Amino acid sequence: MKKLIILVLLVLPLFVPLARAAEQELLDRVVAVVNDEVITQAELDTFLRPIYEQYSKEYSGAELMKAINDVRQKILSQMIEDKLVYQEAVQMGIEVKDEDVDKEFQTFKSKMEKPEDLDEMLEREGLTMKALRERLKKQAMIRQLQDREIRSKVIVSPTEVADFYKNNPEKFTTKARVRARSLTIKKSEEARSKGLTDEKARQRIELLEQKIRLYHNFDQIVKDFSEDSLAKQEGLGDWIERGAMIESVDEVIFKTPVGQLTGIVETPIGYHIFRIEAKEPEKVRTFEEVKDQVSGYLFQEKSNARFHDWVEEVKKAAYISIK
């Protein structure tokens, strides 16, 4: 759910819809005034609606109302900041050319999961193409303001980069990891729910293990008999970092050499045989490897802090009324 809230906050500057009719705008309740502009309940509801629908599945009663109220305050606060920043950009005389808006539009469209659904998305959000381009223009203006007032004044020194690397070794250490193929025979539902062994499942995987040892046909056995979600990929899983699996699996797969089979491993789900496909030891990335990444991280951290302070100063000079 946190991901959903973050996503909504990120797209706020883009999808605040225009009022569908003058009458609706007149009748719509004002929830905030920011200098000489208003934020209406309809605008706020546009972003609350999908969250409310999701929260309704997870909460009820007083708990639901508290969760909605909390996220409402966060969204409204973000909307107020967006208006303030845009108003400052206008006062500074920041302008964006049509060709720059064209580039913004192409970038926006390329990030859509299904660009062909653009018209449907516009209709759903109550936007026209003209309104969308205006939103993209405003975003570009805000970025120019941030470049001028924030990023241009942020400096990260080589000493800061070196100190961060020295003081945060865990951030640059990659754990040992393994990639393996797996054959899985699941326990019965009763055995899984009660934490029991399953002799029938155990006997099945023992028989399959004998065939593998005799015919060296692990890949085919996995493809034909494995009962986990990796069967379609012939059992090949993603890289596994040390400590990510339960102890019984972790210990076995990290001590088994590459190309070799483990014995039968029991877990709460069932019985497994792994073949180790690749291994990588724990390693520490050198300062030279990460210094640019660290510099970028510190630059962003400083920029965010400076922008927060700048917005707070703008707020002090602004007229803000929350209804």
CATH assignment at residue 272: 3.10.50.40
Under DSSP, is residue 258 helix (H, G, I), strand (E, B) or coil?
coil
Which pLDDT tens digit goes with each residue over 215-254? Answer: 999 999 999 999 988 887 777 999 999 999 999 999 999 9
The pLDDT tens digits of the residues spanning 98-153 come to 998 999 999 998 888 888 888 888 887 767 898 889 889 988 999 999 999 999 99
Does the pLDDT of residue 261 top 60, yes or no?
yes
- Does one domain contain both 255 and 184? yes
Residue 162 inside a domain? The answer is: no
Give the distance, in angstroms, between the CA of residue 195 and the centroid of all CA atoms in the same chain.
34
The total number of residues shown for the chain amounts to: 323
Its sign, for the CA torsion 195, 199, 201, 203, is: positive
Asked if residue 19 lies in contact with residue 42, where contact means CB atoms within 8 angstroms, the answer is yes
pLDDT value for 172: 95
Pairing of strands 30-34, 283-284: unpaired
Residue 286 belongs to some domain of the structure? no
Same domain as 145, residue 186: no
Are both 123 and 20 inside the same structural domain? Answer: yes
Structure tokens at 224: 């034909």
Query: Which pLDDT tens digit goes with each residue over 191-206?
Result: 999 999 999 999 999 9
Shared domain for 81 and 126, answered yes or no, is: yes
12 and 140 housed in the same domain: yes
Category of 122 on φ-ψ map: left (φ > 0), alpha (ψ -120 to 50) or beta: alpha
149-166 residue pLDDT tens: 999 999 999 999 999 999
Q: Is residue 292 part of a domain?
A: no
Does residue 33 form part of some domain?
yes
Range of the domain at 141: 2-149
Do the Cβ atoms of 278 and 117 come closer than 8 Å?
no
- Average pLDDT on 60-72 reads 91
21-45 average pLDDT score: 78
For position 214, what pLDDT does the model report?
A: 95
Closest CA to 71 of 53, 88, 83, 84: 53
As for how many domains the chain has, the answer is 2
Residues 145 and 6 both lie in one domain: yes
Percentage of residues of the chain with pLDDT beyond 70: 91
Note the pLDDT of residue 200. 96
Asked, for residue 312, whether it belongs to a domain, the answer is no
Considering the domain architecture, whether residues 216 and 253 belong to the same structural domain is answered as yes
Phi and psi at residue 12, in whole multiples of 5°?
-55, -45
Asked, for residue 183, whether it belongs to a domain, the answer is yes
